[in-house]
Amino acid sequence: MKRQLFGAAVTGALLATAAACGASIQSDTQSLESQQEKIGLLFASHGDINNPDKELEDYIKVSFRKNVGIPLPMWTRKLVEEPAYRLSVKTVRSQYDIIGATRYYENSQLQAAAITNELQALNPNARAYVGFNFTAPYIEDTLEQMHKDGVERIVVINKGAQFSYASSGENMEDALKWLKSAKDFQGQVVGVTDYGRDERFVQVMESSLRTDIAAAFPNKKPEDVCILLGSHGLPQWIINTGDSAISQMKQTVVALRKKMPEYKIYHGFLNDDFFPGAKWVAPAAEALVPAMVEGGCKNVALDGRLSFTTHHRATLYDMNVVVKEALAEAGINSVLLPNFDENKEHAEFIAKLTLEALNGSPLSIQLKPKNGKALDLGSVGKPGTILFGVTHLDTAIENGWKASAND
């Protein structure tokens, strides 16, 4: 099945941090509360669009030009962006014709407002912003606005919970590009790597799933509801560079299976497999339908929160159309659950994560110290870059994944 071409995040480095061992970082915001410096969270992602008539051409062309997951050298992208657009526009346009406006920006703004409320309960000088790689507001434009607003300490966090070269990595690289041009900005910029294995994130996932499943399937017992977690698919070539975002996802799934043993939990990928010549990670989400039939699933809760915080074309089309239709053909009822959006628990977690990053949590990368020089371009988002060493799944975690897998 040919699905979205450019929207999904492709994989990134698994850093040797406390989170690699499953450790939860405790909040320590007191040292910041007495400071008068303005703090800003840039909650970033690839972005999405509402109006394909006006926005689709730029969205596809910018995506093609910047997405490191596409196996072409960056210098060649501009030369072939027009034929690439013509090759993909019909397929991508047909998806928007089915799902309509994603309201990705609007929901991201509501989410930023919820996070701001939680931030300001901890530090009244803090605020959350949103910025995107492939569509407006671009990350560089949001950073410029933060600078104009007097923000002196900036934290960059990817909306998806895993570090990947083309999600967190791209966000931080866009921030570094802005820093190279913003010579008068003397403040601090910190990037957060992955946080999907933080115990608090797992708890938020569990709480949200339980609440939303109860609403979507009233009076159904857990044995009558299966869960399908759909996450960003990644091209195999970028995984082979040392990228372990897939491993990060699997660890979160293992943790959820332990917390929710009464449910059968499946995990599949939402692959951008339209682009020719790239092998993508398996299994694709719809390929799990036979296993769910065999597993006796009668109802399936479709959920994208492992990699998304607001609904996107990947969840609205890949899951709520492609997977939903495949399940319906097999006689299985399914419902796409809400996303985090304005979820208070999630907003509170992101707010704490923001302030912890400024306090030097092991999940953070110093992109630019106050009054200091920014990292060189390519330090974070170039496939194969090793930051503090790369840690892969140890034997116990890998065995835990295999033992817990329903797929």
Write out the chain in H/E/C secondary structure. CCCCCCCCCCECECECCHHHHCCCCCCCCHHHHCCCCEEEEEEEECCCCCCHHHHHHHHHHHHHHHCCCCCCCHHHHHHHHHHHHHHHHHHHHHHHHHHCCCCHHHHHHHHHHHHHHHHHHHCCCEEEEEEECCCCCEHHHHHHHHHHCCEEEEEEEECCCCCCECCHHHHHHHHHHHHHHCCCCCCEEEEECCCCCCHHHHHHHHHHHHHHHHHHCCCCCHHHEEEEEEEECCEHHHHCCCECHHHHHHHHHHHHHHHCCCCEEEEEEECCCCCCCCCECCCEHHHHHHHHHHCCCCEEEEECCCCCCCCCHHHHHHHHHHHHHHHHHCCCEEEECCCCCCCHHHHHHHHHHHHHHHCCCCCEEEEECCCCCCCCCCCCCCCCCCCCCECCCCHHHHHHHHHHCCC
Handedness of CA 348, 351, 353, 356 (dihedral sign): negative
Burial of 150 (0-12, 13-18, 19+ CB in 10 A): exposed
pLDDT at position 253 is 97
Report yes or no: 141 and 42 within 8 Å, Cβ to Cβ. Answer: no
Residue 277: what pLDDT? 57
- Relative orientation angle of helices 139-148 and 168-181, to the nearest 10 degrees: 50
Per residue in 143-152, pLDDT tens? Answer: 999 999 999 9
My answer on whether omega of the bond before 137 falls inside 30° of 0, hence cis, is yes
Q: Is the dihedral of CA 165, 157, 107, 205 positive or negative?
A: positive
**What mean pLDDT do residues 33-43 have?**
83
- CATH code: domain 18-195+343-368 is 3.40.50.1400
Residue 35 has a pLDDT of 58
Residue with tokens 């530090």: 123
- Residue pair 185/150 in contact by the 8 Å Cβ criterion: no
Task: Give the pLDDT of residue 211.
Answer: 98
Q: Facing residues of 11 across strands?
A: 165
Q: Which fold has domain 199-340+394-404?
A: Rossmann fold (3.40.50)
* pLDDT at 77 (0 to 100): 83
Q: Which residues pair with 228 in a beta bridge?
A: 266, 302
Express each pLDDT in 222-264 by its tens digit: 999 999 999 988 888 888 888 889 999 999 999 999 999 999 9
Q: Is the pLDDT of residue 406 over 50?
A: no
Residue pair 63/46 in contact by the 8 Å Cβ criterion: yes
Closest CA to 157 of 193, 197, 107: 193
**pLDDT on residue 234:** 84
Distances (CA, A) of 52 to 49, 78, 202, 226, 343: 7, 21, 35, 34, 28
Q: pLDDT exceeding 90 applies to what percent of the chain?
A: 71
- Name the β-bridge partners of 129: 42
pTM: predicted TM-score of the whole model, two decimal places:
0.88
Sequence-separated (6 or more) residues with CB below 8 Å from residue 338: 212
Q: Which residue ranges does the chain devote to CATH 3.40.50.1400? A: 18-195+343-368, 199-340+394-404
Per the CB < 8 A criterion, the answer to whether 43 and 128 are in contact is yes
For range 164-170, the mean pLDDT: 90
Lowest pLDDT segment from 246-255, 259-268, 310-319, 390-399: 390-399
How distant is the alpha carbon of residue 149 from its chain centre? 27
99-114: average pLDDT: 97
